[in-house]
Amino acid sequence: MTPVDSFLAAQGYAAATRSPLPQDAGHRRYTRLGGGPRPALLMDCTDAPRVGVTPEEDLLPFLRLARHIAGIGLSAPAVLAEDLPHGLLLVEDLGPDTHARLLDAGADPRPLYEAAAETLAALHAAPPPAGLPRWEAERMAETAGLTFLDWWWPATFGTRPDGAIRAKFAEAMRAMLAPFADAGCLVHRDYFPANLIDLPDRPGPRRTGILDFQDAAEGHPAYDLVSLVEDARRDVAPEVRDAAIARYLAARPDLEAPAFRAAFAAMAAQRHLRVASLWVRLDRRDGKPGYLKHGPRCWALLERALQHPSTRPLVEFLHRHVPRGLRRNPDPAAAKDLPA
């Protein structure tokens, strides 16, 4: 009997039907279980060693953050059982109605985005749990470089950037982001419709269930709002974007709107450049070219962010080193076999 079979049998799910859920770009696998004691999902992190951590290390942040989110009165899947050494969790199944699924089925986007913004404001307003990793200027510059310089740049120019380019890029990113480094709150880092679920029987901020939060960090709240209303994977109508931002700011009267919007632009510039380049890595390293279809959207969102004065350091770097005509997906035939 496999560890999964043993774990499910011990919890009363031996005869449950198993329906794997679509896997995203990450390593965790989810399976919907039917016919057991209650609706549940199996979360399987047995591939964690491939990303450099043990299965137990991979699960602990999820457990800690699930308790935190529930403790501040918001909706996250309840943990029903755990087998940490084997990287297995049994969690509450909040149902199939992710915001992504509802939007794809034609639901009116504005109520969903406004509800998500209200929940996000409550998540950010609560004191973050101790010990979160920092999502600050240095780390954000580093992660942007890991996709932009290590994958997009070689695929576009046919050669890796030299040390001087790397130093200038890091300096530009840090200069853009450092003014917003001290607004610490819990940042989900992937707060977008696929990770949100509609729970119409729950009131107020509890109506939007929060999923896939295990990589949360401490950072600036504008980052998550960018993830929501400037989604890398789907278009968001301007009126829906504006309504969600307005709902968020109305729920956070403690924030100064002009300063928040400056941070929003800087966070958007980092995220859109990093994610546009991430699609290249998924294509060239992981054999997943389908993600490249999102590249034009990300590059367009980056150009919009670069209109704000807070992004000037990155604007100057790109002006000197990346002509506007190259700010796009690389030529599919260019440097395809160049190792990273």
Pairwise CA distance, residues 115 & 297, whole Å = 24
Contact yes or no for 241/229 (Cβ under 8 A): yes
Cα 53 to Cα 58, 87, 146, 284: the distances in Å are: 6, 11, 19, 24
The fraction of the chain above a pLDDT of 70, given in percent, is: 96
Does 337 map to a domain? no
State the pTM of this model. 0.91
Domain of 302?
99-326
Q: Say whether both 114 and 256 belong to one domain.
A: yes
Both tokens of 161, joined, read 């950037």
pLDDT attached to residue 334: 62
Q: What is the pLDDT of residues 181-196, one digit of tens each?
A: 777 899 999 999 999 9
Q: Residue 335 carries which DSSP code?
A: T
Q: How confident is the model at residue 28 (pLDDT cuts 50, 70, 90)?
A: confident
Does the pLDDT at position 328 exceed 70?
Answer: yes
Predicted pLDDT of residue 292: 97
Smallest Cα–Cα separation from 129: which of 195, 76, 172? Answer: 76
What is the secondary structure of 48-107 as a DSSP string? GGGGTS-HHHHHHHHHHHHHHHHHTT---PPEEEEEGGGTEEEEE---S-BHHHHHHTT-
Return the C-alpha torsion angle 238, 244, 247, 253, nearest 10. -90
Tell me the pLDDT tens digit for each residue of 237-285. Answer: 999 999 999 999 999 999 999 999 999 999 999 999 999 999 999 999 9
**Structure confidence at residue 24 (pLDDT):** 64
Domain end marker among 75, 92, 109? 92
Task: Indicate if 199 and 244 belong to the same structural domain.
Answer: yes
Count of beta carbons in the 10 Å neighbourhood of residue 200? 8
Order the strands of the 17-20 sheet from edge to edge: 17-20, 29-34, 40-44, 88-92, 79-83
Is the separation of the CB atoms in 90 and 82 below 8 Å? yes
Q: What would the pLDDT profile of 56-72 be if each residue is shown by its tens digit? A: 888 999 999 999 999 99
**The Cα angle at residue 219 between residues 122 and 253, in degrees rounded to 5:** 40
Biggest CA pair distance of the chain = 62
Could you tell me the CATH number of the domain that includes residue 56? 3.30.200.20
Would you state the structure tokens that stand for residue 94, as one six-digit string?
A: 């909040």
- Average pLDDT over every residue of 187-214: 96
Do residue 29 and residue 121 come from a single domain? no
Answer whether residue 335 shows pLDDT above 80: no
Q: What pLDDT does residue 338 have?
A: 52
pLDDT at 139: 96
How would residue 1 be classed by pLDDT, with cut points 50, 70 and 90? confident
In this structure, the answer to whether residues 152 and 226 fall within a common structural domain is yes
pLDDT at position 46: 84
Whether residue 110 sits in one domain with residue 184: yes
Which of 23-37, 115-129, 197-211, 303-317 is predicted least confidently? Answer: 23-37
Taking 80 as the threshold, does the pLDDT of residue 50 lie above it?
no
Distance CA 139, CA 86 (A): 30
Among 92, 123, 138, the domain boundary falls at 92
What's the pLDDT score for residue 339? Answer: 46
Same domain, 38 and 116: no
pLDDT bucket at 340, cuts 50 / 70 / 90: very low
Domain ends where: 44, 72, 92? 92
The dihedral over CA atoms of 283, 266, 173, 220, expressed in degrees to the nearest 10, equals -90
pLDDT of res. 232:
96
Say if residue 81 is in the same domain as residue 26: yes
What does the mean pLDDT of the chain come to? 94
What pLDDT digit, counting tens, does each position of 110-143 carry? 999 999 999 999 999 999 999 999 999 999 999 9
Total tally of structural domains belonging to the chain = 2
